[in-house]
Chain A
């Protein structure tokens, strides 16, 4: 028996998304940039899909761009800063995905001031952001749902701070959020968040790999690759239409057509609660404002790498936040340290992540296995 509980890493593509992929690849194989009928049909299908997705997200389709995924979406936004005439300051959280935090290093090299804002226990303090704002800040980049422990930032409040400062300095400040772990996982309204841009990735909600969404209200968005000017110049390169259509199908499947709240949200919430109430291990995920799809805990002082290996052998696939290595520190571990968790807790961190297909039986089984192992080898 195999139990896949690493859905924050990636999800299995849904059957209907896969079917949509194959159907689209077969029916709409022509390049949407061509002028003949088949190409124009593909173009129509592309725009139709864009409209569908825009409708689900309840935003204008003018703000929706298709990319290769969350990392590219993030990179497009951050790289656009490099086109500014003179470098300014960017505020970025310490718990960002590597596609943001690594890009910040490039900005630094190019003369930008990169100010990092910490997130104790996974949460950014709005007052702290307020105190860091100044008239040199051009962009604020804060993740929506953290991929390591599932904490949800109060983006609306954080954006409000930035909007107030915009008025005070009388200049635009770009607010970008990486919402890869939020879409089709937690209820939210993109409109109400009032961010300038947000990134999404299809394979986190049972869509295919290599496709994602960049939502941006910026008019003169600079691309990473110009190529043939596709996606209104924001993302050059022939559109990955089969994947885009499959993504739309997967999204609809998770959300339905009218609401931004996943249809299985309440059930997942209960499963998460069951985990929280029954695991003998040390809970790392926050007790409030968390995504029910992610649960992090620590088996410290036992190394998580060994613990997950033991779980793997029993058929449970979960993520180890830390590598048992002196040479390479796992991402999760450094993110946890940035959240002020002790080194020991971080080294023992393990993440379980759920999806709509996760059953109560699976959760009961993994809880039993973790508790058995924890009680026998750690305690």
Chain B
């Protein structure tokens, strides 16, 4: 028995060593990104690559923020992510509540259509969305990004929250109906407060999806003043003599809000319940 326990202890330490080694390998790209962001331009492709910069500098961050209009790109990203998330979460909650708690003509058809459209790859929609945005004058505008990002997140939000609303006890709603609560007050006063955890999670995911979105932004935006962070960062990269320090300083600035959210709300990120939603 003692021998077995010791063997188990050894296995545990081997697993620990393997897990740490694997974690270090996973971290290497991040480590080099961070150290390069603090290196002067002359040292970004030095051999051997140094993890601790020889002459660390904040110049890249200063330059990224000041000379490159980065504040504007950051603001554009904030506007687009906040506005599209607000729309996708509000409308998604309303849809989900109606689908989960009420029966009405067309319910199955509408929900089926929603699911079907959700499963179609985004690229299929891209061309007609481009044409539609062009006809409505929404091409090359932040409003065009907001509408498309809100739509992009609406399907999944509705799908996930429908499960949340659907699992709530019927008695609560019956009691409220006896007290004269209508559809809207049941939604607002009972459904929404009870679904708070689910709403927080879809808010987080919608925000991140909008914050990171690249394809629609690069197709629809031509005015540099309207760039969001992902395409602004890419535009720093040049075919020849890329200023990698600048690119990675900008990347870290864009990553900072995501990391803050991640550390603060890690349960939502890595919980099994919504595990399907974060796959980019």
A binds B: no
Instruction: Give me the interface of B with A, judged by CB distance under 8 Å.
Output: none
Instruction: Give me the interface of A with B, judged by CB distance under 8 Å.
Output: none
